[in-house]
Structure 1
Amino acid sequence: MATQVTEETVVKKSPLQEIVQPFIDLAHAPRALWGINLAYVLEGMVYFGVLSYLAKHFSDFIFAGMAHADVHSHNMVMVLTAGITISMFFLGFVADKWGVRRALIAALSLMLVGRALISAAPTVLNLQPSGLWSQLHLVTMGGILLVVIGYGMYQPAAYAGVRQITTPKTAGMAFAMLYALMNLGGWLPTFAFLLRDDDYLGMGIPGVYWVYTGFTLIALLSTVLILSARTFKQAREAALAETAALNAAEQKASAAAGETKAQPGVTPEELVVDARIPWHMWLVLLGILVAIYFRAPEAWRYQIMAVVFVAAIAAAIIPKVRSAVAQHPLANSKFFFFIFALTPVQTLFTYNWLILPQYISRAYEGWIGRYFEIASNANPILIFILVPIIAAATQKAKVYNMMVIGTLIMAAPAFLLAIGPYPLTLAGYILIMTIGEAMWQPRFLQYAAEIAPEGRTGQYMGVAQLPWFLTKMLVPLLYSGIMLEKFCPADGVRDTRTMWLIFACIACTTPVLLLLAKGWVGRDFKTKAA
């Protein structure tokens, strides 16, 4: 989230204050914010908890004994992660149409039913694993699809709710609180081994899923009871009144100082739009067709390619569609390059749930492998601690330099795991990778805001989520399951060094591309890190 501030409004805090402040703010938050925040931290815990087990649940149980179990299991994870991104794109309007409270309740209700189905399939329904498209697989996938729809409504509604009940003065605090709670929730599944492992409660993954379903019910009830319609209405009215008072005071102060606000306008140069679809957009089309050819089912391969190709030609012929494509943010060649250059290093994010849980449980002996949740869930709490510290230490650094150095530091430690599956290399990878992430990730949306033409910042920032979506979809679709099956199978000879060497080379593509393009893309970085 990029926040615009002036020098007069910046109050510099120590890193410790940055870490502690969200919890101080949480303690003093109004009831309406509590109604959103409590459910949000519970939902963060449940989402990441379910996600961290999902590939293992499919490969070791639902698809147990069948060929290419790891490949199929990673495709099911893709249905959840990429599906949620697509769902948010189409269902973000629900909070505006239904209202925030109704959207949150509907979303949590759908996720409750979906998670209950996932949990009940092997337990209450007693469905047995019998491979792809079995009853167990279909019921579990049905539950996942309900979660996809629910989460697609939930996160936009939560952010819309916070925005509606805060003022320009308090919004920064409220969104920082959401960020802190998301990372805290993502770390809590670290302790799920106490429920899963036979040395403790021995509930297994289906049993843990029932616990997460129970927490979803708690999140739903807390939203219904704490975020009542009356509470939200009062908070909304208070925020509107305070915002109006702040705006009036600002206008009065500006008038007294003889200042006038510049009105956004369009320069004559911006009115001239090249209606041609740029060459790099056709390159994307070629990449899509190649991916379909190699990965689509053989029976439908050419039909799907034909539909995509005809749609692209139609877009090039129809004037209004062609103009819209030509004005799209990705038509900006620098923005296009930057977005796709970041995709390789973003693959490391997806490994946190696609690779690490199974890799750690299979390749490491002793407590590290047995209680794999501890290492695989360390990233969120480290991000929570490191982001304010690194932000304070790099305030004067240039944004583009931070992007190059940060992505390099994030990608390089993957080479540590190429040395072998040792405790020190695993710890070094997680810690150094997270430091790199904390260096560049907060700067990412800042660039999207800087390069955007006047009046199109929101559109550019929305498209800036594309690398995240691409990695969630392409990594499991193209190679993660295949790599795990080949180099780190559940049974048989393992060669995890080669697997991580390949992963490291993929991730390092990003800093190399950014460094090579610094003289071209870097010229648009007008500001320093905030």
Structure 2
Amino acid sequence: MSPLDSKRAGLWARFAVLKGAARELWIVFVAKVLAILAYAVMNSTLVLWLSAGYSTLSVVDIRDLAALAQRLKRPAAEDRLSSYLASELTPATRDRLAAYQSGADPHLRKLLVQDLNRLIRGPNLYAPDRFTGVSLSGRTQALLDQPRLTPAQVAHFNRLLLEDAYPSALARPSPAGLAFSDAAAGSLIATWSTVMTLCTVLVGSLVDAIGLRKAFLLGFTVCLLSRGVMTFTTVRWLALGLGLFPLAVGEALLTPVMVAAVHRYSNTAQRSISFSIFYAMMNVGFAVAGLVFDAVRRGLGEYGGWEVAGLGLALGTYQTLFGVSFLLSLPGLLLMYFGLREGVEATDEGLKITPQTPNYTDQPLWRALCWTVADTFRETVRIFTGLWRQPAFYKFLAFLTLVVGVRLIFYHMNYTYPKFGIRELGEGAPIGSLWSLNQVLIIALVPLVGALTQKVSAYRMVTAGSAVAAAAVFLMALPPQWFAPLADGEPGRLLGRALELKGTVHPYYMSILLFIVVLSVGEAFYSPRLYEYSAAIAPKGQEASYMAMSLLPFFVAKFIAGMFSGWLLAWYCPETGPRDSPKLWLVIALTASITPVGLVLLRPYIRVQEPGRTD
């Protein structure tokens, strides 16, 4: 056998340890894809949904297309507003409008909405002579009388002007979202994310107490119901109180239980490669989610929508994305209900099944239920309080406090990057597809890196990987014009073709591409090993508790970073006005650099010995 063949055989042998693995391990891999797919579609949409409001038009707001088209095709001499709007339409819209005769034309609706929204967000729609003879509503007149308007107020004012000028053609505004400002949306996301992290910290011991199967079923059920509420309402108190914040509890239940399940359903030989595959499956979900996110926005338009046949219900683009997330939650629930066995554990001696014996079988149902809940509460408290009596646990928390810096990169990719991308690159920019490259690279790199580095400690891998990931963010802090030669050359043409871009390729596409590639390499080294480290040093039966408590430092950091995300956007990348986005990314890069520097300097004091590791 040649040396190359020997290496290939050795690499395959590292994957072959999964042969004969418990079926529950494979079910967890599939469930992770479904859970992450639903979560990522919702998460990418969340910040846009919170900020989208009444100012923009959606396709369902054009209730009489024929009347609007008639006025724009052949404006009367005295109709100066229609003449102005017609002159500002794009060539594609003009051509479609010229060919229009009557009836429904979804493509024309979409083109008109895109053009009118562009004018709504601009400063030049209102001129006194254009609105001569138009009866302005009280709300419109109140804004007109103000000496100065913010950009958000200008957009709202312009929307009201169009509603007053075309009362029969345009419906009253249907909200695309909850209409919060950037800063308010950032604070809400920070609060929601912090609540989710706090719930995760608190439910870890509950998961250990009630068992994996019950925790899976409870988590998927709460997520399903919460996403249903967010899909079908834009009433703030309903969407937040019965949708967004209960969703934090559902997501919190699924976070520690997934990691604990991989640990429980794999033996010592399978563990490293199992966590690598688990992380790769997570990124399969993220990759597909990015494509779904872009496909729905491209199909409906950034501020589009559609009417649900037979229900008389109109869903905006962002609500439709929540609906996709809702539907994706159902298969995970069914898979866990029918496929997961209670009491399964993979050991080095083989598979063990310890069925759970019901307690209080001689008692009435209501009393047995109450006593079982009380027992679960006592066991949860016992496990939770026991954590704080373990010296290694404090070193573990110090380690994870440092890791927060680099983990916040991905927090910003969820909540800062979407607005940054749309504002710098334009509506409909394929920012989700571009970010999906990260997941594609991770899917390819993580199993390979995991197989080749099984003997390297998690601490060392996290240190090296976080250094590479932090360095990647500095690429985004460079002036975008530095990447213009790449954007104008063959790399830009290839990327433009892959993303189906029209016209010249913005230099930011190239800087984002390079950033994602370098970040993915660093992530492949450190991120899967974080999960392994949390599970490896945990005492038996407390894996979910350790995984949950590993998020305690993230609890405080996410709240601060969430509000800071809104401030960074308002300061350096506002919706209108001058932007200085490199400074936004410089702040994120400096924050991420805390991780590798701290791990190197504090290694003698915070490292916990991992079972089976000597380095």
TM-score range relative to shorter protein: 0.5 to 0.7
Kindly report which structure 2 residues correspond to 1:289-304, keeping only aligned pairs within 5 A, or say none.
none
CA distance in 1, matches of 2:265, 2:614: 29
* Aligned partners of 1:55 and 1:76 also within 8 Å: no
Q: Which residue of 1 aligns with 2:440?
A: 381
CA shift for structure 1 position 165: 5.8
* Aligned partners of 2:392 and 2:608 also within 8 Å: no
Q: Secondary structure at the match of 2:53?
A: helix
Match 1:513 to one of 592, 598, 606? 598
CA shift for structure 1 position 489: 1.2
Q: Which residue of 1 aligns with 2:71?
A: none
Kindly report which structure 2 residues correspond to 1:34-53, keeping only aligned pairs within 5 A, or say none.
36-53=28-45
* Aligned partners of 1:398 and 1:527 also within 8 Å: no
Q: Which residue of 1 aligns with 2:411?
A: 350
CA distance in 2, matches of 1:33, 1:505: 38
Kindly report which structure 2 residues correspond to 1:113-152, keeping only aligned pairs within 5 A, or say none.
113-122=225-234, 135-136=235-236, 138-152=238-252
CA distance in 2, matches of 1:209, 1:486: 29
Deviations 1:85-115 (A, max 9, x none): 3223333355555554444333222211100
1:218 to 2:346 alignment: no
Match 1:360 to one of 402, 417, 421? 421
TM-align CA RMSD = 4.6
* Aligned partners of 2:409 and 2:592 also within 8 Å: yes
CA distance in 2, matches of 1:429, 1:382: 13
Q: Which residue of 2 aligns with 1:504?
A: 589
Q: Secondary structure at the match of 1:370?
A: coil
Q: Which amino acid aligns with 1:215?
A: L
Percentage of matched positions with identical amino acids: 25
Q: Mark the CA change 1:396 to 1:483 in structure 2 (over 3 Å): closer, same or farther.
A: same
CA distance in 2, matches of 1:399, 1:519: 15
1:439 to 2:531 alignment: no
CA distance in 1, matches of 2:425, 2:455: 41
CA shift for structure 1 position 344: 2.2
Q: Mark the CA change 1:508 to 1:492 in structure 2 (over 3 Å): closer, same or farther.
A: same
Q: Mark the CA change 1:469 to 1:147 in structure 2 (over 3 Å): closer, same or farther.
A: same
CA shift for structure 1 position 56: 1.4
* Aligned partners of 1:417 and 1:426 also within 8 Å: yes
1:110 to 2:195 alignment: no
Q: Which residue of 2 aligns with 1:194?
A: 295
CA shift for structure 1 position 490: 1.6
Q: Mark the CA change 1:449 to 1:58 in structure 2 (over 3 Å): closer, same or farther.
A: closer
Larger gyration radius, structure 1 or structure 2 = 2
CA distance in 1, matches of 2:387, 2:14: 43
Q: Which amino acid aligns with 1:482?
A: W
CA distance in 1, matches of 2:268, 2:460: 30
Q: Mark the CA change 1:420 to 1:527 in structure 2 (over 3 Å): closer, same or farther.
A: farther
CA distance in 2, matches of 1:404, 1:159: 21
CA distance in 2, matches of 1:83, 1:17: 43
Q: Which residue of 2 aligns with 1:180?
A: 280
Deviations 1:482-503 (A, max 9, x none): 0111111122211101111222
CA distance in 2, matches of 1:454, 1:95: 14
Q: Which amino acid aligns with 1:348?
A: I
Match 1:429 to one of 499, 515, 522? 515
* Aligned partners of 2:24 and 2:341 also within 8 Å: yes
Q: Mark the CA change 1:84 to 1:21 in structure 2 (over 3 Å): closer, same or farther.
A: farther
Which deviates the most, 28-37 or 500-509?
28-37
CA distance in 1, matches of 2:320, 2:540: 52
Deviations 1:291-343 (A, max 9, x none): xxxxxxxxxxxxxxxxxxxxxxxxxxxxxxx99968655655xx565433333
* Aligned partners of 1:119 and 1:206 also within 8 Å: yes
Kindly report which structure 2 residues correspond to 1:247-262, keeping only aligned pairs within 5 A, or say none.
none
Deviations 1:323-373 (A, max 9, x none): 9968655655xx56543333322221211201111111111248xx62221
Q: Which amino acid aligns with 2:568?
A: M
CA distance in 1, matches of 2:387, 2:341: 38
1:89 to 2:201 alignment: yes
CA distance in 2, matches of 1:400, 1:238: 25
Q: Mark the CA change 1:382 to 1:97 in structure 2 (over 3 Å): closer, same or farther.
A: same
* Aligned partners of 1:346 and 1:467 also within 8 Å: no
Corresponding residue pairs, total: 420
Q: Which residue of 1 aligns with 2:182?
A: 70
CA distance in 2, matches of 1:519, 1:92: 29
Q: Mark the CA change 1:399 to 1:119 in structure 2 (over 3 Å): closer, same or farther.
A: closer
Scaled by the length of structure 1, what TM-score is found? Answer: 0.65
* Aligned partners of 2:275 and 2:528 also within 8 Å: no
CA distance in 2, matches of 1:504, 1:379: 18
CA distance in 2, matches of 1:169, 1:515: 29
1:494 to 2:579 alignment: yes
Scaled by the length of structure 2, what TM-score is found? Answer: 0.57
Q: Secondary structure at the match of 1:232?
A: coil
Q: Which amino acid aligns with 1:208?
A: L
Q: Secondary structure at the match of 2:595?
A: helix
